A and B are shown apart, each in its own frame.
Chain A
Amino acid sequence: MAIWMLVAASSFLLGKGLLAVMYDRKKGSGSPGQPEAFPAGICMLIGLTETVHLAAVFLGWGLKEALPFWAALVLILCAAALFYLLARRRAFHKGVGKPEKRTFTAVQQILLACFVLSALLQVIFIWTRMSEGRTGDIVLETVRSFLVSDRIYQADPLTGLPYTEGMPARLKILCLPTLYAFLCELTGTDPSIAVWGLIPVMVLSASYCAYYLLGRQLFSGDRTRLCLFLLIVNLIFWFGDSMEEMDAFQMMHVGYRGTAVRAGILIPYTIWACLQRKWGQAFLCILAEACIVWTFYGMGACLLITVCMALIYLCRPFGKRWEERSWRNS
């Protein structure tokens, strides 16, 4: 468990470092926030895994051969991020002043407590369902297949026998099973616990981070609304799982799938980035989606959202003209 906490911390550190580099270019923009770093870190972890995964697939490396490269890459970048953050600490805090004191009213405290309690119940719910079989995807079999055969996409995960005709190249570049296999190999965790228990909890946590960012932005620091917003998102995750395609189903039942990472983390994070006009971070999500979900030649939901939001942003002058006309008419 401690190693898994370390993995979560390293993704947080990676995100923090990456955003610090991006923020540093814009002088006076201050330090990136904590919740922002976690989803960004997950995107970066996906990117690093994809690099090693592609090398392994095309150079024919085994899983155990590729693992040291991946671990070294993550460690080096974590160390670099830590070093950079410590070095720039003073610069970030310069001119920002003392952080505001966070006081919560009684209503806000109740809402927050309800949210935290309910989120913890969700974690327990995910853990209790680990002993139930799931069909519809082959993630767990793929991870087990990687670990047993020590090869990446060489054996059919459904039978364990070598492929005779192979698999689609578009699927071959998806790196999520490799990431899970790396984590299982590194931590010694049983794949079913990692894939059905630990990963969904991490995805759920990162999802709440992404929704927190959105709420903070949409409610401009109104904490009552923000707490209420998070609580409602939490309730939707509990009650809105009527279909496999719903975010709630993805989060609560199959949080390890690429589509769940997309629905819970990448899409809210992309929308937040677009609303903030942080196109670099939106681009990060587009790349991450292409690495984990079967998309149309790499073009997926995040790209569509980014394009639509950019167009809406560019069309603002027309909207304003329409509103002025409305005023004149009224």
Chain B
Amino acid sequence: MAELLKEAAEGWRELISDGKYMVFYMAALMYLWYRRLQLVKKRGEHDSRAEMSWQLAVYAAFILAVAAIPPAGMALRIYQTRFYDYTWVLAYIPMTLIIAFGTVEAYMDCYKSFSDRRPWKAAGLAAVFLAVFLLCGNLQTEATGDDGAYERTSHLLKFLEERQKSGNADGICLWAPADLMTYARMQNGEITLLYGRNMWDEALNAYSYDSYSPEIEASYRWMEDCSDYLLGAALQDIQETEGGTAGETAEETTFRETADQCIKTALSSGVNCMILPEGTEREGTEAGGTEAVFQYVTAVMEKAGCDVIKEQAYGYNIFWIH
């Protein structure tokens, strides 16, 4: 209960901090209510249009109240299944409709209140409304955030497909860093993966009852550590830490200890294509050189009885395993 309440409060905070359209929604709603009260005061005619506007305004106010009050919002969240976050209660709030409706009514009422209705006045008023409108929102936030990974994956997959067609592989079962695995099956449905992106995007686990074995999870962690290591992310640690055999850092020792097990797990799961970044050569550590990593990986695979063909393409090392 307390957790749900906390989620509701956090969701509401998120709702009003990203963009100001919720404020705009409330302003539009208040204006629609104000118009209705004016109509009541003037004993205005209740035509069908006024009735519909009123019904809509009542619904919009009611659903806003339900969503805004944490216990009610919590009930709404349970109603929409707890799979969705609290912010999804927005789905019940007709925000686009009310903002557009309220803005049109406010604009037309303002314009009609002018004694002298000239085109430049209408344009000036429209500019004011537009400015408020744009300041409340934001133009097309970065929705994907793929950082060019989709395109990189695309090039690499085309290369893999060509190789597959030329007979180097039957069907590709891929094991690669997360940024490649994320987009691999979006681009080629024939490729199978050692693990999917639900490994690091936990929300996606809701789509399936399947879970990964600890060995597969360890393979994922090793692959990410190995990629980071090759790309030089842990360079500072490597230079500062000492351990293992002569010239070998503690990180490298750990790498060697876990690599055997993870590669064996991948091979037993049917992986026939492993990809690692080309990496950057390090200074000051002989054993930590990227080539040493590749040689070690190849050696482990060959020790397991596999033939390995290594290729380089688009900044990656591709290990074809037969």
Inter-subunit contact B186/A133 (CB<8 Å): yes
Stretch of B130-138, B157-165, B289-297 with 4 or more beta carbons under 8 angstroms from chain A: B130-138
Stretch of B195-203, B241-249, B304-312 with 4 or more beta carbons under 8 angstroms from chain A: B195-203
Asked if B208 is at the interface of the complex by the 8 Å CB criterion, the answer is yes
Inter-subunit contact A236/B87 (CB<8 Å): no
Say whether, besides A218-B52, A243-B14, A271-B56, A192 and B189 are in contact (CB < 8 Å).
Answer: no
Say whether, besides A263-B91, A326-B40, A214 and B19 are in contact (CB < 8 Å).
Answer: no
Q: Which of B58, B92, B100, B140 contacts A238 (CB 8 A)?
A: B140
Chain A interface, number of residues (Cβ within 8 angstroms): 88
Inter-subunit contact A236/B185 (CB<8 Å): no
Inter-subunit contact B52/A140 (CB<8 Å): no
A294 CB → nearest B CB, Å: 6
Closest to B99 in A: A236
Digitize B77-111: 1 where CB-to-A-CB distance is under 8 Å, 0 elsewhere: 01111011101101110111101110111011000
B300 CB → nearest A CB, Å: 23
Asked if A296 is at the interface of the complex by the 8 Å CB criterion, the answer is yes
Closest to B55 in A: A312
Say whether, besides A138-B204, A239-B133, A242-B141, A229 and B55 are in contact (CB < 8 Å).
Answer: no
Asked if B63 is at the interface of the complex by the 8 Å CB criterion, the answer is yes
Complex contacts, A89 vs chain B, CB 8 Å: none
Classify the secondary structure of B's interface with A.
helix
Inter-subunit contact B104/A219 (CB<8 Å): yes
Stretch of A27-35, A71-79, A143-151, A197-205 with 4 or more beta carbons under 8 angstroms from chain B: A143-151
Closest to B17 in A: A242
Asked if B210 is at the interface of the complex by the 8 Å CB criterion, the answer is yes
Classify the secondary structure of A's interface with B.
helix
Complex contacts, A168 vs chain B, CB 8 Å: 206-209
Closest to A309 in B: B59
Asked if A292 is at the interface of the complex by the 8 Å CB criterion, the answer is no
Complex contacts, B144 vs chain A, CB 8 Å: 129, 132-135, 253
Digitize A240-279: 1 where CB-to-B-CB distance is under 8 Å, 0 elsewhere: 1111111111001110000100110001100100110000
Stretch of A42-50, A96-104, A299-307 with 4 or more beta carbons under 8 angstroms from chain B: A299-307
Contact-size category for B? 35 or more
Inter-subunit contact A228/B189 (CB<8 Å): no
Asked if B183 is at the interface of the complex by the 8 Å CB criterion, the answer is yes
Inter-subunit contact B97/A271 (CB<8 Å): yes
B229 CB → nearest A CB, Å: 25
Contact count A vs B, C-beta below 8 Å: 243
Say whether, besides A148-B190, A275-B55, A164 and B80 are in contact (CB < 8 Å).
Answer: no
Complex contacts, A271 vs chain B, CB 8 Å: 56, 59, 94, 97
Asked if B170 is at the interface of the complex by the 8 Å CB criterion, the answer is no
Most chain B beta carbons < 10 A, residue from A165, A214, A249: A214
Stretch of B41-49, B218-226, B278-286 with 4 or more beta carbons under 8 angstroms from chain A: B41-49
Inter-subunit contact B80/A275 (CB<8 Å): no
Expressed in whole angstroms, the Cα–Cα distance for A240 and B23 within the complex equals 12
Closest to B198 in A: A158
Inter-subunit contact A240/B43 (CB<8 Å): no
Say whether, besides A147-B189, A218-B52, A232-B104, A158 and B81 are in contact (CB < 8 Å).
Answer: no
Inter-subunit contact B143/A253 (CB<8 Å): yes
Asked if A167 is at the interface of the complex by the 8 Å CB criterion, the answer is yes
Inter-subunit contact A233/B100 (CB<8 Å): yes
A324 CB → nearest B CB, Å: 9
A82 CB → nearest B CB, Å: 33
Stretch of B146-154, B231-239, B314-322 with 4 or more beta carbons under 8 angstroms from chain A: B146-154
Complex contacts, B122 vs chain A, CB 8 Å: 107
Closest to A163 in B: B210
Expressed in whole angstroms, the Cα–Cα distance for A151 and B87 within the complex equals 34
Q: Which of B47, B78, B80 contacts A295 (CB 8 A)?
A: B80
Expressed in whole angstroms, the Cα–Cα distance for A165 and B207 within the complex equals 11
Complex contacts, B151 vs chain A, CB 8 Å: 131
Complex contacts, B207 vs chain A, CB 8 Å: 138, 157-158, 167-168, 171
Complex contacts, A138 vs chain B, CB 8 Å: 204, 207
A102 CB → nearest B CB, Å: 20
Asked if A156 is at the interface of the complex by the 8 Å CB criterion, the answer is yes
Asked if B168 is at the interface of the complex by the 8 Å CB criterion, the answer is no
A316 CB → nearest B CB, Å: 8
Asked if A166 is at the interface of the complex by the 8 Å CB criterion, the answer is yes
Inter-subunit contact B90/A312 (CB<8 Å): no
Asked if A65 is at the interface of the complex by the 8 Å CB criterion, the answer is no
Closest to A230 in B: B100
Expressed in whole angstroms, the Cα–Cα distance for A237 and B137 within the complex equals 10
Inter-subunit contact A275/B104 (CB<8 Å): no
Q: Which of B49, B94, B100, B108 contacts A220 (CB 8 A)?
A: B49
Of residues 16 through 61 on chain B, the ones whose CB sits less than 8 Å from some CB of chain A are 18-19, 21, 40-41, 43, 47-49, 51-56, 58-59
Expressed in whole angstroms, the Cα–Cα distance for A228 and B84 within the complex equals 34
Expressed in whole angstroms, the Cα–Cα distance for A247 and B99 within the complex equals 12
B37 CB → nearest A CB, Å: 9
Say whether, besides A158-B185, A219-B104, A296-B78, A240 and B19 are in contact (CB < 8 Å).
Answer: yes
Expressed in whole angstroms, the Cα–Cα distance for A158 and B123 within the complex equals 52
Inter-subunit contact A308/B63 (CB<8 Å): yes
Inter-subunit contact A159/B91 (CB<8 Å): no
Which residues of B does A touch, CB under 8 Å?
A: 14-15, 18-19, 21, 40-41, 43, 47-49, 51-56, 58-59, 62-63, 78-81, 83-85, 87-88, 90-92, 94-97, 99-101, 103-105, 107-108, 122, 130, 133-134, 136-141, 143-144, 146, 149-151, 153-154, 182-183, 185-198, 201, 203-204, 206-211
Interface CB pairs A-B, < 8 A, 13: A132-B146, A133-B150, A156-B196, A167-B207, A237-B96, A238-B137, A242-B138, A242-B141, A253-B144, A268-B96, A275-B56, A304-B79, A312-B62
Q: List 11 extra interface pairs beyond A164-B210, A246-B95, A312-B62, CB under 8 A.
A: A160-B190, A161-B192, A211-B100, A220-B47, A237-B96, A239-B133, A239-B139, A243-B87, A271-B56, A274-B55, A304-B79
